[in-house]
A and B are shown apart, each in its own frame.
Chain A
Amino acid sequence: SQQGEEDPQALSIQEGENATMNCSYKTSINNLQWYRQNSGRGLVHLILIRSNEREKHSGRLRVTLDTSKKSSSLLITASRAADTASYFCATDTGTYKYIFGTGTRLKVLA
């Protein structure tokens, strides 16, 4: 079974807009990671946030983590058509298993 659930399941926005997707999980974690998957490049690591961190930035990406609510959000600013992909959160519970969520399908319209 999958621990994480992304919300929304699908999101469609115009190029230049911001995209926000959320991830909820069930158990305590060491870290949470966000991945992007499209048909062209497979599954690609975007950013990792440790359990003792609350916010992290990487380029146009901003990730927040609220361990009290067991939730994380990924913000993509100034979206581009190339950002069209599925986005997954993955939690590392310290047991070797990385548990992926169900994914958010993002479509950026040019």
Chain B
Amino acid sequence: GAGVSQSPRYKVAKRGQDVALRCDPISGHVSLFWYQQALGQGPEFLTYFQNEAQLDKSGLPSDRFFAERPEGSVSTLKIQRTQQEDSAVYLCASSRLGPNNEQFFGPGTRLTVL
């Protein structure tokens, strides 16, 4: 079946612009995660959804970052008033509910803020 998809794959934004990044998880996966990966680093947790409920948003760097998953499937990560330090790859992952389940990652969105 289809894996996790993300769009756009690449996004260039001018500093101050708002961006929206989309994630389509694997159908039926209850858990959805967003990560931020800087160049040469491992992914860093941003936020976690269980169905439509955002259970953990402790990793969001600032109040300019906002994520939603209104119907418990597709999720959007929005960054307002982008800054150069927001440049990174944003990864989405989904998994079945419960412990000891692997996460399936999308290809990521590479965001470059000029």
Could you tell me which A residues sit within 8 Å of B by CB distance? 2, 4, 30-31, 33, 35, 42-45, 48, 50, 88, 90, 92, 94-103
Contact = CB atoms under 8 A, between A and B. Distances in A.
Contacts of A90: 42, 103
A43 B99 contact: no
Interface in B28-53: 31, 33, 35, 40-45, 48, 50
B100 A45 contact: no
Contacts of B103: 33, 45, 90, 98
B109 to A, nearest CB: 11
Contacts of A88: 42-43
Contacts of B106: 42
A92 B48 CA distance: 13
B104 interface: yes
A80 B99 CA distance: 32
20 contacts: A2-B41, A2-B42, A4-B42, A31-B99, A42-B105, A43-B43, A43-B108, A45-B102, A45-B104, A45-B105, A90-B103, A92-B100, A94-B99, A97-B56, A100-B43, A100-B44, A102-B41, A103-B40, A103-B41, A103-B42
Nearest to B59: A97
Interface residues of B, number: 26
A85 to B, nearest CB: 13
B72 interface: no
Pick the most buried of B56, B103, B104: most chain A CB atoms within 10 A of its CB.
Answer: B103
A95 B56 contact: yes
B26 interface: no
A44 to B, nearest CB: 7
B55 interface: yes
A76 B41 CA distance: 22
